[in-house]
Chain A
Amino acid sequence: DSGVTQTPKHLITATGQRVTLRCSPRSGDLSVYWYQQSLDQGLQFLIQYYNGEERAKGNILERFSAQQFPDLHSELNLSSLELGDSALYFCASSVSGTANTNYGYTFGSGTRLTVV
């Protein structure tokens, strides 16, 4: 157990629907990062939050949004889902706004999203 908790583990939904993925960071970590992993693209950075504020934005679609709450858990909202959104979504955390010297980011076990 890495200490980063992601729920749900699996999600199957229909095109056009909206889903919410949840992440609880490792205790003491202030930064949360969201990544999307597909077979052809590898791990793609979506967005980062640090202590409740958006810190950096990567290749995140306008249909996707995220937030980090006062208790530091984060949610990734995916709307108007398309078949191509099927992927593994990972959350990672770190103490500071950058990767830790000794262990980089700590990743959760991911949410596998299947859009049918």
Chain B
Amino acid sequence: EDQVTQSPEALRLQEGESSSLNCSYTVSGLRGLFWYRQDPGKGPEFLFTLYSAGEEKEKERLKATLTKKESFLHITAPKPEDSATYLCAVQAPWNSNSGYALNFGKGTSLLVTP
């Protein structure tokens, strides 16, 4: 069964203190790995899609990387507005149960203090 594990569950950073969030996955034939940001009481907001090991994508202070077993979301010099829950999801080859549905991890709750 496909599994997605995110760590840490919660992370508290000082403004400007860079760090990384981890997403470990087990899936046969990864079709894509997705990162989302979720603010309290709101729906997840798409950040990145990664498809193959070695791929990297950047957006402002965020950079996502992918290996064959895990993905990292690097946050450089974070600001308080980066506080949110960051979700990782994988898309596996089609199966009769979940089709192509994204399988989400439980997320990392990030708090950036001034």
A: which residues have CB within 8 A of B?
Answer: 2, 4, 33, 35, 41-45, 48, 55-58, 90, 92, 97-99, 101-110, 112
Contacts and interface: CB of A to CB of B under 8 A. Distances in A.
Contacts of B87: 42-43
Contacts of B104: 35, 42-44
B102 interface: yes
A45 B101 contact: yes
A3 B109 CA distance: 25
Nearest to B107: A42
Task: Name the residue among B31, B45, B46, B89 with the largest chain A CB count within 10 angstroms.
Answer: B46
Contact of A33 (B31, B101, B105, B107): B101
Task: Name the residue among A33, A97, A103, A105 with the largest chain B CB count within 10 angstroms.
Answer: A105
Interface in B18-60: 31-32, 34, 36, 41-46, 49
**Pairs of residues from A and B, 7 with the lowest C-beta to C-beta distance, nearest first:** A56-B99, A107-B43, A42-B106, A43-B104, A98-B100, A45-B101, A104-B46
Contacts of B107: 42
A55 B106 contact: no
Given A42-B105, A43-B87, A110-B42, 17 more contacts: A4-B43, A35-B104, A42-B107, A43-B104, A45-B103, A56-B98, A57-B98, A58-B97, A90-B43, A97-B99, A97-B100, A99-B100, A104-B49, A107-B36, A109-B41, A109-B43, A110-B43
